[in-house]
Amino acid sequence: MKLLWIDLNSSYAHSSLALPALHAQMTDENDIQWEVVSATINENIGMVVEEICRHTPDILAGTAWLFNHEQLMHIAARVKALLPKCCIALGGPEFLGDNEHYLRCHPFVSCVFRGEGEETVPQWLACWNRPEAWNNIDGLCYLDTEGRYHDQGIARVLNFAELVPPETSRFFNWDKPFVQLETTRGCFNTCAFCVSGGEKPVRTLSIDAIRQRLDIIYRHGIRNVRVLDRTFNYNNRRAQEMLELFREYHPHIRFHLEIHPALLTDELRRELACLPQGLLHLEAGIQSLHEEVLETSMRKGKLADALDGLKYLCSISNMETHADLIAGLPRYHLEQIFEDIRTLADYKAGEIQLESLKLLPGTYMRQHAAELGICYSTYPPYEVLRTNEITTAELQTARRLSRLLDAFYNTPAWQEVTCRLILDKAEFLHHFLKYLTEANLIDQPMSLEKRGLVLYKYVKRFVPEYTTAVSIAWIEAGMSLKKLPAEKVRTKRQIPPATWQIIQGTYHEKLRLCFLPTAEDEGHGYWFGFESEIQKAAPVFKART
């Protein structure tokens, strides 16, 4: 029997754990020939189908999630038409809800798995061609030959720590820029919009088991690890033990964690503050800075504690903390989103990620959408279209605002000046967003240079007192000194002054200097020094007079 896995990802940087996690549990695969076809959602579907059919599989299997689901259906339907005897079996978060309607609408899908598949998929493979034997497999949903729907509930792996690690599978992909490491399964929290909300029990790996897996990852030369733990600090003692373990791999590995700012103990704060520079990249789940929104979303933790914790995380300089907001949550108004962005900018969050709410299958919020006043798309990615508090047009404003944040605040070159504008000018976000929208720029891809030019032209026209700040950011980003943001820069035969206040680097006579005046008398301004003998566009020296 030949099983072919369609590994369909959103980009080449991503790689699903599903295949190696399942394959690693197969103690005897003598009767199964495992093969894989990898692709991204942006590839030509016909070519992907051709590659799959070339293998003539008996089983086509894959994982469906909101961003690959549509393309996966096109692929599966074509494969079934070309190979009618092929059995198509799917799993993933798309099947955590009611699957009967789905199976009746997609008759080319033989069955779907709800929940965790490491124990149930091997059972199914032992009887895959005998549907009459499928009725005792946990989590399996299917239609029998007479059209009756069978639903075996949800599968849970209770002995999570006893699973064979996916890193041992020959299908584990070591060629990506990062790997995922699942240290915990389940979640203590009850967020109404999350597929893990209320997923119990919470199961963990021992510190020794995690160390063994990190050793394998380290030996493969991986530099970035995304720790799959829905709330890393739900148990602060364990979190401290994990941080001590991560120290052992500095500076070779950087860890990406999701942390709940409301649950930071004093001990964990001290531990975080003394970690090596760059060891951690933190994602702080905040969603909204308004109590009534969080209560409706059933998120645990007091808002006051969350704000205090987030402010602390953003204040420590040895790591970068990103914060996320979700437009479309019930009771969340558009103006509150603008307010929250200003607050997060004041905290100096490393990034502000504004996403639109998606009502995922199996979540409380999807099941109770009507009573919560949520109108949403029933097609992936299930975006909220309107709530009692935010209109369709306002959600589009929030989407464009997210684009603005990504292009300017979340881009290191322009972050500092954008942050200053957000904090100093109460209407900046509204006005700049309108400016970008009317200029048809907000949905256009823009290079780093293009964004700098746009920002400079805007401040020169509307807030000219910030032109120097944008010019400084432009120069420090290594942009051309012949372009508009450097229009005031003097580059020819610049002689250093008798005295200056050095801000960065060390001056030596071989540096090529330029001067940016900031006053009418041109005696005050900023000096930048560039190495003439190396190909480096950014300055290595900065001073002020």
Enumerate the domain spans of the chain: 2-151, 177-389, 411-486, 488-545
Place of tokens 């209407």: 427
Look at residue 7 in the predicted model and tell me its pLDDT.
95
pLDDT digits (tens, 9 = 90+) for 29-88: 668 999 999 999 999 999 999 999 999 999 999 999 999 999 999 999 999 999 999 999
In the three-class reduction of DSSP (H, G, I as helix; E, B as strand; rest coil), residue 332 is classed as coil
CA separation, residue 410 to residues 206, 348, 448, 470 (Å): 36, 11, 12, 16
Across the range 393-401, mean pLDDT stands at 98
Place of tokens 């009850």: 190
Across the range 4-16, mean pLDDT stands at 87
Across the range 422-442, mean pLDDT stands at 97
Mean pLDDT of the chain: 94
Please name the residues in contact with 104: beta carbons below 8 A apart, sequence gap of 6 or more: 143, 149
Strand pairing report for 541-544 and 501-504: antiparallel
Look at residue 11 in the predicted model and tell me its pLDDT.
81
CA proximity to 217, closest of 183, 261, 187: 183
Which tokens go with 401? 């605002």
Q: What is the pTM of this model?
A: 0.92
Residue 435, pLDDT above cutoff 80: yes
pLDDT digits (tens, 9 = 90+) for 250-264: 999 999 999 999 999
Strand pairing report for 179-182 and 184-185: unpaired
One-letter amino acid of 144: D
Cα separation, 321 vs 340, in Å, equals 16
Which tokens go with 338? 């603008």
Give the confidence band of 230 by pLDDT, cuts at 50, 70, 90: confident
Residue 408 per-residue DSSP state: I
Q: Would you say the C-alpha torsion 316, 356, 195, 172 has a positive or negative sign?
A: negative
Cα separation, 216 vs 249, in Å, equals 12
Across the range 157-176, mean pLDDT stands at 93
Look at residue 201 in the predicted model and tell me its pLDDT.
80
Look at residue 14 in the predicted model and tell me its pLDDT.
76
Strand order through the sheet with 224-228: 179-182, 224-228, 254-259, 280-287, 320-327, 351-356
Q: Where are the alpha helices (DSSP H) in 288-391?
A: 291-296, 303-315, 334-347, 364-367, 369-372
One-letter amino acid of 296: T
Residue 333 per-residue DSSP state: -
pLDDT digits (tens, 9 = 90+) for 505-532: 999 999 999 999 987 667 799 999 999 8
Cα separation, 396 vs 133, in Å, equals 49
One-letter amino acid of 53: C
One-letter amino acid of 27: T
Cα separation, 410 vs 325, in Å, equals 14
Q: Where are the alpha helices (DSSP H) in 286-445?
A: 291-296, 303-315, 334-347, 364-367, 369-372, 392-404, 412-424, 428-438
Across the range 143-172, mean pLDDT stands at 95
Q: Which fold has domain 2-151?
A: Rossmann fold (3.40.50)
Cα separation, 364 vs 371, in Å, equals 11
Task: Give pairs for 437-441: CB < 8 Å, separation 24+.
Answer: 437/400
CA separation, residue 35 to residues 51, 55, 267, 432 (Å): 11, 8, 48, 51
Look at residue 136 in the predicted model and tell me its pLDDT.
92
Place of tokens 């807030």: 463
CB 32 within 8 A of CB 87: no
Look at residue 523 in the predicted model and tell me its pLDDT.
78
One-letter amino acid of 270: R
CA separation, residue 173 to residues 20, 36, 168 (Å): 8, 12, 11
Beta strands (DSSP E) in 10-58 are 33-40
Give the confidence band of 198 by pLDDT, cuts at 50, 70, 90: low
Look at residue 111 in the predicted model and tell me its pLDDT.
98
Please name the residues in contact with 110: beta carbons below 8 A apart, sequence gap of 6 or more: 87, 88, 89, 142
Residue 99 per-residue DSSP state: -
Place domain 177-389 in its CATH homologous superfamily: tm_1862 like domain (3.80.30.20)
Cα separation, 308 vs 150, in Å, equals 49
Please name the residues in contact with 447: beta carbons below 8 A apart, sequence gap of 6 or more: none
Cα separation, 290 vs 295, in Å, equals 9
Q: Is 191 left (phi over 0), alpha (psi -120 to 50) or beta?
A: beta
CA separation, residue 39 to residues 44, 179, 527 (Å): 9, 18, 50
Residue 138, pLDDT above cutoff 90: yes
pLDDT digits (tens, 9 = 90+) for 334-366: 999 999 999 999 999 999 999 999 999 999 999
